[in-house]
């Protein structure tokens, strides 16, 4: 970074234009499909399938909640409203179109099969891949799938899920993840599931350290042997872990929240700013762009302003998602060449029309 990440000090440098940051080619690797469902779509699906949504899903064009557990309740209810392959197709297609409109060229989509008992794994994947292929035809956006384990259901259910994934091999499914409430299941419960996935050639990631527990991150590194850490803010609380992951340069898929929840926004911004200053190998992501808000382009615009980015910083983050992604080497090399050419083309536009 070219400057210390002060969140309250006025910048002495002209800010990059929002138009430039929106146009940057981006690769996002931390995004949940069930968190991409806008409230209006969620209400329509819930009505169709007889699902009752929490009150926070009925307030206009955004979800309302006060804390993580309340937001998770909405997430689970929205997940329950996705009950057919067509629901998955529509949500996947719409989410990728929305991402592409903000310059996203590659997105890894995580989803929780265990949250949709009405469908088989194969049926869900049929809908997701149909939507992804339509979005690619419409916009050129590339996508890959991470099958996420709901840690609240325990290790045996996780092992069964990985077996289902391996019984239906798909090129688009590149990794196994671990999410939901971090307090509900230690990473050590999922060693067998992760070992099986690794032996089959899948990449591995896990949510860890989102809510202040650095020991959970150590378990993910040492027991699950993950290839990437999702969130990871608790590394700031553990100097040994921070030093270790700076040295290894394992990717962190951090999320720059603008709207979630209002009481935590500044704290999360400060965490991500400190992670960047510490030298972690970090990319920026939206996490749940409909549930939490906003899409990744708005995250770039907000982060660029708060962290006082210059063009070099912006280009670094534009490429950082490719460094962290789980796509095959041929795809990554092609996207890197495309991104590099586009970044060069966009440089004259960085500070707006008056500074070309």
Supply the residues annotated as catalytic: 210
Residue 53 DSSP one-character state = P
> Which sign, positive or negative, has the C-alpha torsion 203, 288, 268, 178?
negative
| HSE-up (13 A, CA, CB side) for residue 146 | 30
> Which regions of 139-233 does DSSP assign to beta strands (E)?
142-150, 173-179, 203-208, 228-231
Pick from 221, 162, 222, 227: which is nearest to 196 by CA? 162
End-to-end CA distance of the chain: 23
Measured distance CA(174)–CA(158) in Å, rounded: 17
Residue 287 DSSP one-character state = B
Q: Tokens at residue 15, please?
A: 């800010």
Q: Give the SS3 label for residue 253.
A: strand
CB atoms within 10 A of CB 201: 9
Measured distance CA(145)–CA(109) in Å, rounded: 5
Pick from 41, 35, 87, 34: which is nearest to 61 by CA? 41
CB atoms within 10 A of CB 51: 17
> Which regions of 112-202 does DSSP assign to beta strands (E)?
142-150, 173-179
Q: Tokens at residue 24, please?
A: 């940057």
Provide the β-strand partners of residue 177.
148
């Amino acid at each position: 970074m070219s400057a210390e990440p002060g969140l309250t000090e006025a910048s002495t440098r002209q800010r990059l234009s929002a138009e430039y940051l929106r146009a940057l080619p981006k690769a996002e690797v931390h995004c949940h499909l069930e968190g991409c469902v806008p409230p209006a779509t969620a209400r329509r699906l819930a009505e169709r399938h007889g699902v009752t949504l929490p009150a926070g899903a009925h307030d206009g064009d955004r979800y309302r909640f006060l804390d993580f557990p309340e937001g998770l309740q909405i997430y689970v209810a929205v997940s329950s409203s996705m009950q057919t392959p067509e629901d998955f197709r529509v949500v996947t297609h719409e989410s990728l179109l929305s991402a592409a409109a903000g310059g996203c060229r590659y997105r890894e989509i995580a989803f929780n099969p265990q949250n949709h008992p009405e469908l088989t794994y194969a049926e869900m994947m049929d809908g997701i891949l149909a939507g992804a292929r339509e979005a690619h035809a419409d916009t050129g956006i590339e996508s890959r799938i991470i099958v996420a384990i709901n840690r609240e259901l325990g290790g045996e259910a996780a092992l069964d899920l990985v077996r289902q994934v391996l019984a239906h091999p798909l090129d688009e499914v590149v990794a196994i993840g671990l999410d939901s409430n971090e307090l509900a299941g230690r990473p050590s419960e999922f060693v067998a599931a992760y070992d099986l996935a690794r032996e089959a050639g899948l990449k591995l990631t896990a949510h860890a350290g989102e809510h202040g527990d650095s020991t959970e991150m150590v378990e993910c590194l040492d027991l699950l042997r993950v290839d990437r850490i999702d969130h990871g803010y608790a590394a700031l609380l553990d100097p040994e872990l921070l030093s270790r992951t700076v040295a290894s340069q394992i990717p962190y898929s951090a999320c720059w929240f603008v709207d979630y929840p209002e009481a935590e926004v500044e704290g999360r911004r400060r965490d991500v700013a400190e992670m960047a200053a510490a030298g972690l190998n970090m990319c920026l992501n939206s996490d749940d762009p409909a549930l939490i808000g906003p899409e990744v382009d708005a995250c770039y615009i907000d982060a660029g302003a708060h962290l006082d980015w210059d063009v070099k910083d912006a280009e670094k983050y534009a490429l950082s998602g490719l460094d962290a992604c789980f796509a095959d080497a041929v795809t990554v090399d092609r996207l890197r060449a495309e991104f590099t050419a586009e970044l060069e083309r966009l440089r004259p536009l960085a500070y707006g029309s008056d500074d070309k």
